[in-house]
Chains A and B, each alone.
Chain A
Amino acid sequence: MATETPGRDESWYGAGEEVDRIRGAAFKWACLGATLFGISMVFVLLLYVAVDAIRPFSADAGWYLAVGLAAVVPTVALLAYYVRRDREAGWVGATATALPAFCLLVGSGVAILVIEVFPPHEWFAVVPALGAVVAVWAVHQRVRPDPVEFERFGVVALAALVAFVGVPGAVPSLEAALQSALLWLNWPTMMLYSFAGPIALATGILIARRHESRRAGAVATTLTFAAGVVSILLAPAVGVDDYLLVVVALSVAVPTALYAESVLRSGENVSGLALPVVAYVGIAVAAVVVETYGFTGPAAWLDWEFLTEPHSRFPQRAGIYPALVGSIMMMLVIVVSAFPVGVAAALYLEEYAPDNGATGRVVSIIEMNIGNLAGVPSVVYGLLGLALFIRYADMNTGSVVVGGLTVGLLILPIVIISAQEAIRAVPDSMRQASYGMGATRWQTVRNVVLPEAIPGILTGTILAFGRAIGETAPLLMIGAAAVVFNAPGAFTEQFSAMPRQIFAWSSEPSAEFRHGVLAAGVVTLLVVLLSMNAAAILIRNRYQRR
């Protein structure tokens, strides 16, 4: 018979009498197990670190009871309701709850910059000088609405020169003059005018645009400024320096209020706003109850002292503050250096680069090179920074600028690649429409492509910055300090960053360092990282829905 060719039978699927179910099922579950292996291992380890850093078992039963009943149970119950009944409102509630916490982190970062890098009188001088440049630009725009090309650029550049540079040795700049002239003002007044003032103005303009009413804008401006005044008056009661409380209070209050206002105005998912109210009121009630009955909370390693003290030989007193400041300052350098260059490179590669011809070949080499650069080990970038910035450019060993530039170079390929993806996602029809209206290529890029791509670019670059904040090896190469007792006061001073400090602690053999201080440092680093990632996800979600 033709069918009886035994050799060939086996090359057909299902040649046997029955299908082997067990083998398939075993394979499927093995694959699932493999997927869960790495994930669960890391999550268990994260749990261990959290337990070591917070020591939840050292708290009273009463403390758990108070916190559980007042804060956790109502919040979880409300969350369960949202998950079952109203997902959209749940998202609104989660955003409204996370926003103040996130803004508190950012506001504290700004406050640290005010303490360490720009004391109020310098800050106060910079703001009006910047304001003067903006004013010159605005007046010029009104007086000469159709200027000769480069005219406006020249005028603004001149204004900036007068405001910030002056004539060295002869005429002081506007900023320097203000700095020496206004020393008689006290610090809270300075912060009120230079921080609360611009923020109040910006809020007013935003509200006026949203409501298309100048009156609403004026009300918002007044309210914001009044909030600044109130926070200064309340400062003695809170126990924080008044000029810092303005910064922190406004950074939390303004975005939160703006978000709540936008939800209320749209009238959709308003019920979501109950979540932050329940959560934060619950926490406050729990705090009051714990205070009155004298319950002791967990004796966490990660506490206020840990965040505000420098390193110490004694684990109980060791803290991460100088390294935290160092990381923030390094981040600032990275944002200023890597972000614009990365986005510009991505714009060229996506919008300008020709596909063929001599330039096309150069471009394809550049693209391939960026991919390869992303795979170069981070230690090698550290060597590059060591040789380039410290040996040849003669900058200070282990200074903030060198650290920022080195890590900036390291994440540049990642910034470029993610920005390219965001720009590629802009639909071509929008570009064609812009060209059709007679726009030049740069006008199209600036007015159409960039505004459309910026949420995607931000999401990608924030994730890249998250990578930057955890990089350690390049910092070791450029000689960032193992231990600093004072936060760097300028960008040219030697610094230590959070991961560098964690590495220094990891060589301390005592169990109190290993399971206490080190764990607290790791949790601090991960919290900063996690909130950056959460911000990236929030931006992505917000703009995906539109």
Chain B
Amino acid sequence: MSDASADDRRAEREDRDRPAFAGQNRVRSVKERAIEWLLFGCAALSVVVTLAIIATLLFDAIDFFTRVSPVAFFTGTNWSPKIDQTYGVLPLLTNTLAVTALSALVAVPVGTASAAYLSEYASDRVRSILKPALEVLAGIPTVVYGFFALVYLTPALRAVGLPVSTFNLLSASIMVGVMIIPMVSSLSEDAMSAVPDSLRQGAYGLGATKFEVTTGVVIPAAVSGIFSSFILALSRAIGETMIVVVAGGMSPKLIPSLFESSQPMTAAMVQLASSDLAGDGAAYQALFAIGLTLFVITFSMNVVSNVVAARYREEYR
């Protein structure tokens, strides 16, 4: 007999022993049960949404893969749904990868350093100013970030002397990086603040400086939380749409160039959706095939992030 079923039975017994708050009024207890089920329905809706996402994506993606073989889709090096009707997702993937890597170059060091500052160095007063300011960054709509990249950042990069074209990978990636900074910094700061003070005091007692405490004690102790924040932020960068659509351009290349137009997966989806789509054409279904790829990548990254946070967390009591 497993522990789980023993747990179940114990829970059932507890349920029976629980006082009937509804008193002797049977109708009232029926009402209580009805309300409980209604609320449960609302909570269960989230699972229904997940299943609906998976079902709708799979449904059309499977149709797509009966027309275009998965091998051709995942190994094809040419994405040209309009002209050649060829659906090779590799160029989109490499462009997504490039945007994610570049934005990580911005967000990971900046986010971690600001988390360290906010958690270890900032006084309460400074923190009470900086944290809301970082939240403002997180609250700005992504289409506005795209506008920033297109109208201000790209000309600025050109003024610095970089040979960027109007739509380019570099400025879009920098903006994506700036957008995900608050995510890295707030989650990492939570992890650093959760490191118990006794560890810091212990290190100080051994003669450590503040720098040594921060880099040698706090960051290693919080490393699982910090890593999980990286993964979450990168999954956000992969799924980011508007910045790359507005500022990144519309021409996917297998080997993306920093200074020229590109097209990650999300931008390709937007382009497909804004062209006239026949309800069951291959182009329409390709939308769902890319959507499925994107969903699988981001969902598994989120799961991995949870696992990292839970599995490698140092437990202090």
B40 on the interface (CB 8 Å rule)?
yes
**What are the residues of chain A within 8 A of B134 when measuring CB–CB?**
35, 38-39
Which A228-278 residues have C-beta < 8 A from chain B?
none
Interface residues on A, range: 35 or more
The answer to whether A440 touches B140, judged by C-beta atoms less than 8 angstroms apart, is no
B23: chain A residues at CB < 8 Å are 438
Tell me the minimal C-beta distance from B267 to chain A in angstroms. Answer: 10
Determine whether B35 belongs to the interface, using a CB cutoff of 8 Å to chain A: yes
Closest beta carbon of chain B to A174's beta carbon, Å: 28
Q: Which residues of A contact B220 (CB under 8 A)?
A: none
User: Can you name the residue of chain B whose Cβ is closest to the Cβ of A502?
Assistant: B143
Instruction: Indicate if the CB atoms of B241 and A375 lie closer than 8 Å.
Output: no
Which residues of B (144-184) have their CB < 8 Å from a CB of A?
144, 146-148, 150-153, 178, 181-182
In this assembly, does B118 line the interface, its C-beta being within 8 Å of a C-beta of chain A?
Answer: yes
The distance in angstroms between the C-alpha atoms of A121 and B10, with both chains bound, is: 61
Chain A, residues 401-428, CB within 8 Å of chain B (1/0): the string is 0000000010011001000000000000
Whole-angstrom distance between the alpha carbons of A526 and B140 in the complex? Answer: 8
> B147–A369 contact, CB under 8 A?
no
How many A-B pairs with Cβ below 8 Å? 280
Q: Which chain B positions have C-beta within 8 A of A470?
A: 140-144
A335-364 interface with B by 8 A CB criterion: 340-342, 344-345, 347-349, 352-354, 356-358, 360, 362-363
Q: Kindly identify which residue among B35, B116, B287 contacts A442, using a CB–CB cutoff of 8 Å.
A: B35
Nearest CB in chain B: distance from A109 CB, A: 19
- Cα A381 to Cα B266 in complex, Å, equals 12
- One of A42, A416, A506 near B146 (C-beta < 8 A): A506
Q: Does B294 contact A (CB under 8 A)?
A: yes
- The A-contacting residues of B in range 38-60, CB under 8 angstroms, are 38-40, 42-47, 49-50, 52-53, 56-57, 59-60
Q: Assess whether A214 is interfacial by the CB under 8 Å rule.
A: no
Q: A13-B203, A357-B12, A376-B53 are in contact. List 19 more A-B contacts (CB 8 A).
A: A12-B206, A13-B206, A27-B214, A28-B210, A49-B147, A149-B30, A149-B31, A347-B39, A357-B11, A375-B232, A380-B239, A383-B57, A383-B291, A387-B288, A388-B52, A499-B143, A503-B245, A503-B246, A518-B147
Chain A interface residues toward B at CB < 8 A: 12-14, 19-20, 23-24, 27-28, 30-35, 37-39, 41-43, 45, 48-49, 148-150, 340-342, 344-345, 347-349, 352-354, 356-358, 360, 362-363, 365-366, 368-373, 375-384, 386-388, 391, 409, 412-413, 416, 435, 438-442, 463, 466-467, 469-473, 476-477, 479, 482, 499, 502-503, 506, 514-515, 518-519, 522, 525-526, 529, 533
A-B contact pairs, 27 of them (CB 8 A): A24-B209, A31-B117, A35-B118, A37-B110, A38-B137, A38-B178, A39-B130, A150-B31, A341-B45, A348-B42, A352-B39, A353-B43, A357-B8, A373-B49, A376-B295, A377-B236, A378-B241, A379-B239, A379-B291, A438-B21, A477-B270, A477-B273, A482-B274, A499-B242, A506-B146, A506-B246, A525-B141
